[in-house]
Amino acid sequence: MSRQRRRGQTARIWKTKTITDHRGNEVIMADADGPHEVQAAFIPQRSARAEVPGQQQINVVRMLVDPDLDDVTLWSRVEYGGRQWDVVSPPAYHHGTRRTRHWGIDIRERP
């Protein structure tokens, strides 16, 4: 585990699960059973402030977590810094040495 992730910041991730709704459709959603706490490194990607009323603020951050995290998809939720975040792109696995392999997950702050 890299020094960034070992000494990183704490985040909570809700993994995903598949359920069947009342119509019989299979739906993927964040698992409400409870979040998993992880240590992660955060790298700002892009942001835009809302300059005019009616515009929306965009804040996207890349989160680097350990490679043993599974069941995290586009429907997962993240809580970091006291705010809720959505996963905006499929998590990318980066294979390297034992110390450098990780998942890169882009997250966007919820309005």
pLDDT value at position 23?
93
CA distance 54 to 91: 31
More confident residue, 5 or 102: 102
Domains of the chain: 3-109 (2.40.10.270)
pLDDT of 34-80, one tens digit each?
Answer: 788 888 999 888 766 666 665 566 788 899 988 888 778 888 889 99
Contact between 64 and 104 under an 8 Å Cβ cutoff? The reply is: yes
More confident residue, 55 or 100: 100
CA distance 12 to 103: 15
Contact between 66 and 38 under an 8 Å Cβ cutoff? The reply is: yes
pLDDT value at position 50?
61
For the cut 90, the answer to whether the pLDDT of residue 90 exceeds it is: no
pLDDT value at position 25?
94
